[in-house]
Amino acid sequence: WPADAAVQTAAGDAPPAWPDYFTDPQLQSLIRTALAHNADLRIAAARVQQARAAARIQSAEQWPLLAGSADATRLGLPAAVQPLAGGSVLQSYSVSLAASSWELDLWDRLGSLDRAALENYLASDAARHAVRVALIAQVAAAWLALRESDERIALTAQTVATRDASLRIVARRVEVGSSSRLQLTQVETLLIQAQALLEQLQQTRAAQAHALQQLLGTNEPLPATEPAAPAAAFVPLQPGLPSAVLSARPDLVAAEHQLRAAHANVAAARAAFFPRITLTGLFGSGSDELGGLFDGGTGAWLFRPSLSLPLFDAGRRRANLDVNAAREVEAVAYYEKAVQNAFREVADALSARETLTRQLAIAERGVAVLGERARLATLRYDAGAAAYLDVLDAQRDLLGAQQQAVSARRALAASQVALYAALGGGAEVSDTSARYPR
């Protein structure tokens, strides 16, 4: 890990599975809904099925194509040739089992193509798992943003109610002559600002709800979020996780399988320079009478080996090898980039967690200080020792500090979600090779 990650060096276990990490019941329900209905996840699952079928097709190329056939023929002859044929109708019956175009894979061309198809299938399954991890993180982040908006709306609505009450009080004082019209306009300005902020937050909250519904894959109305602290929705990750835990990240697993597939394709392209030996065989029985089809002396067989080696192809095989070799180089670079990106994401999430923790402490201290300032300013105004403008400034600054503290709490919780996703989502990619049908 980077030097500024602030992670202990003691050994640790892998992150827990998402139901053990995201402990909030409401969030768990939303994640389950998304995993069941999200369109991106269903698209990824369909791609896995396509890759699996393609791998099975390629695997079948290593085996001969067996075909059974039965044939019956009756031929009516013209009168001129009937004496020669011994009758007016010729008939024949045959049954055969044929094995056609079975290539002897002496140079492992078909085996390499089969391994490439299998690795592509495993890469697509790992990519599906990556989509799943990203979806869980996106749902958690969207839920946190929705909770932030709800909390900010509640604070602003409370402020609006307080300032509306203050406006009525000042308006009454103006009526009795104990306050000026200037103070009334100042209080009304502060109320208008709070009302405008409330409308903006309502609009933001609606957009966030729509985005979360899209992730869930459903148009059902979202339940109201609970006012609990965002950090209470997660289980703290144990310090000291080894960097080897990133080897289970699904995007790295997918990149590794893609690299193996590219290597297998190079081997197949190289094997194409060697001769191809194919075998065709047939065994059957033929007779001019259906009842004697399987009698002695009616058997027939065919064995036909074939050797082919293109002598001139205008450099086609060489170009095919060069293409696959370049793709292998690309796969190596892509894998290296995926590893570097994994370390960067973890470093970013760890750094964000550390700095946001300090930022939240500063924001909460600022709320406490500004709250005391607003209280003292109000007391000084009531005692006639300060202008009402001091009260307005203190209340305005207090609302801004409260909003910043809510945003800081959400950002800190979001960094925990990002760290969990960067570490691979807490679960290894399934051993899909064990489920691959042969």
Q: Label residue 434 by pLDDT band (50, 70, 90).
A: very low
Tokens 């509306």 — which residue? 164
Average pLDDT score over the chain: 84
CA angle 102, 103, 105 (to 5 degrees): 140
Superfamily the domain 3-72+90-309+323-341 falls into: Outer membrane efflux proteins (OEP) (1.20.1600.10)
pLDDT tens per residue across span 135-162: 999 999 999 999 999 999 999 998 899 8
76 or 419: which leads in pLDDT: 419
Q: What is the pLDDT at residue 432? A: 39
Max mean pLDDT range (22-31, 295-304, 428-437): 22-31
Q: How far apart are CA 140 and CA 134, in angstroms?
A: 10
Q: Specify burial of residue 112 (Cβ count, 10 A radius: 0-12, 13-18, 19+).
A: buried
3-class DSSP state of 101: strand
- Percent of the chain residues past pLDDT 90, beyond the cut: 38
End-to-end alpha carbon distance in the chain: 41
Map out the domains of the chain as residue ranges: 3-72+90-309+323-341
pLDDT tops 70 at residue 416: yes
pLDDT class of 362 with cuts at 50, 70, 90: very high
Q: How far is residue 196's CA from residue 189's CA, in Å, rounded to a whole number?
A: 11
H or E element in which residue 343 lies: helix 316-382
pLDDT tens profile 66-118: 888 888 887 777 777 667 666 677 777 788 888 877 888 888 888 999 999 99
Could you tell me the maximum CA-CA distance found in the chain, to the nearest angstrom? Answer: 139
**Element spanning 307, H or E:** strand 299-308
Q: What is the pLDDT of residue 175?
A: 85
The DSSP bridge pattern shows strands 89-104 and 65-76 to be antiparallel
State yes or no: pLDDT of 308 exceeds 90. no
Burial class (CB in 10 A: 0-12, 13-18, 19+), 86: exposed
pLDDT score for 229: 58
Q: Report whether pLDDT(2) > 70.
A: no
Q: For residues 234 and 182, which has the higher predicted lDDT (pLDDT)?
A: 182
On the question of pLDDT at 226 being above 50, the answer is yes
| Mean pLDDT value across residues 399-405 | 91
Determine the pLDDT at residue 289: 73
